[in-house]
């Protein structure tokens, strides 16, 4: 655990949020595209597309998300609910973004369309059948529902076989991987609404969220003593969420966006830098800065 006391760490992370230009950073982030949609139903669908494609370089992934969403028009929920399933395979004939092909988007769109016709929303697919004990407040129950959500979506795909590209788009937490993009989607749905997160789901409390951990955020979490595991896997993502919950039990991921954008904005270059580190809001808790002092 961090050498920095929880109150001091909390103060550093609050300062990180205060130092982050949230509106500017949102416009550089995949979630900025989701905010362009006006209704909750459309935002939920756009969010699953955008989060699923939120890998690779930010300057490349945002155009890829726009390209993926363009055929669905300004109202993707209405479009997918009302379009005949046989029309979907024609929507992305030339789409290629790293591991993702147009056929993978067809699988995703087909699964979402089926869900909109049957359950009316992605949240309804995620929630357990019994409405007792809602909202979900603990990480264990959330992971169970998250895995069930992915399993059901995968079963509703277009192609008979479960292709690698579609598995990559929608990873299953039951595999033990960090599932950063899936947990990003849940953060957008559960937290807020605020400048960043959308707050569309009532059935998942922010207290249950898992850190959307990738190589960049995991480094920063290690610098702050929020993470010791070398692997960036589900155990690591849960460990970070548990430690952030010591600082804010009801909303542990309130620090995620600002922390993540320290890396995305290249403000942190992951080594001691005399021009950057003294101005960094978490410098007082960063083990790299400590070592060089």
Binding stretches for ligand SF4 (CB under 6 A) = 220, 223, 268, 276-277, 280, 282-283, 286, 288-289
Nearer to ligand SF4, 65 or 213 (CB): 213
- Strand, helix or coil at 214? coil
- Phi and psi dihedrals of 182, rounded to 5? -65, -40
Q: Which is nearer to ligand SF4, 144 or 276 (CB)?
A: 276
User: Do the Cβ atoms of 264 and 28 come closer than 8 Å?
Assistant: yes
Distance CA 46, CA 37 (A): 8
CB 20 within 8 A of CB 258: yes
Q: Is the Cα torsion angle 29, 34, 37, 40 positive or negative in sign?
A: negative
Sign of CA dihedral 231, 239, 47, 270: negative
Q: How far apart are CA 109 and CA 103, in angstroms?
A: 10
Cβ closest to ligand SF4, residue 241 vs residue 268: 268
Please tell me the distance from the alpha carbon of residue 56 to that of residue 89, in angstroms, as a whole number.
25
Q: Smallest distance from the beta carbon of 292 to ligand SF4, in angstroms?
A: 9
What is residue 134's DSSP assignment?
A: P
Minimal distance, residue 205 CB to ligand SF4, in Å: 30
Name the minimum Å distance from CB 282 to ligand SF4.
5
Minimum separation from the CB atom of position 269 to ligand SF4 (A): 7
Closer CB to ligand SF4, 99 or 284, in the complex: 284
In the complex, the smallest distance separating the C-beta of residue 223 from ligand SF4, rounded to whole angstroms, is: 5
Q: Which is nearer to ligand SF4, 146 or 220 (CB)?
A: 220
């Amino acid at each position: 655990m961090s050498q920095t006391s929880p109150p001091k760490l909390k103060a550093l992370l609050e300062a990180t949020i205060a130092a982050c230009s949230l509106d500017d950073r949102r416009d550089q982030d995949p979630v900025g595209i989701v905010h362009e949609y006006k209704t909750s139903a459309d935002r939920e669908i756009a969010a699953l597309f955008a989060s699923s494609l939120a890998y690779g370089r930010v300057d490349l992934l945002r155009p890829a998300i726009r390209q993926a969403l363009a055929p669905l028009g300004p109202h993707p929920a209405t479009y997918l609910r009302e379009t005949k399933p046989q029309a979907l395979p024609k929507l992305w004939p030339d789409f290629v973004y790293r591991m993702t092909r147009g056929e993978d988007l067809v699988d995703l769109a087909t699964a979402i369309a089926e869900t909109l016709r049957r359950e009316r929303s992605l949240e309804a697919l995620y929630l357990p059948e019994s409405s007792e004990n809602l909202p979900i407040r603990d990480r264990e129950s959330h992971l169970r529902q998250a895995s069930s959500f992915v399993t059901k979506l995968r079963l509703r795909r277009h192609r008979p076989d479960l292709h690698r590209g579609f598995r990559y788009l929608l990873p299953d937490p039951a595999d033990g991987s960090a599932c950063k993009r899936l947990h990003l989607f849940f953060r957008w749905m559960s937290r807020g609404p605020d400048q960043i997160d959308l707050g569309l789901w009532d059935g998942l409390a922010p207290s249950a969220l898992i850190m959307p951990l990738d190589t960049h955020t995991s480094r920063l979490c290690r610098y702050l003593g929020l993470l010791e595991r070398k692997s960036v896997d589900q155990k690591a993502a849960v460990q970070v969420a548990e430690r952030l919950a010591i600082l804010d039990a009801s909303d542990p991921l309130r620090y995620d966006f600002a922390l993540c954008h320290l890396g995305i904005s290249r403000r942190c270059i992951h080594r001691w830098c005399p021009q950057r580190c003294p101005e960094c809001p978490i410098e007082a808790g960063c083990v790299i800065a400590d070592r060089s002092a």
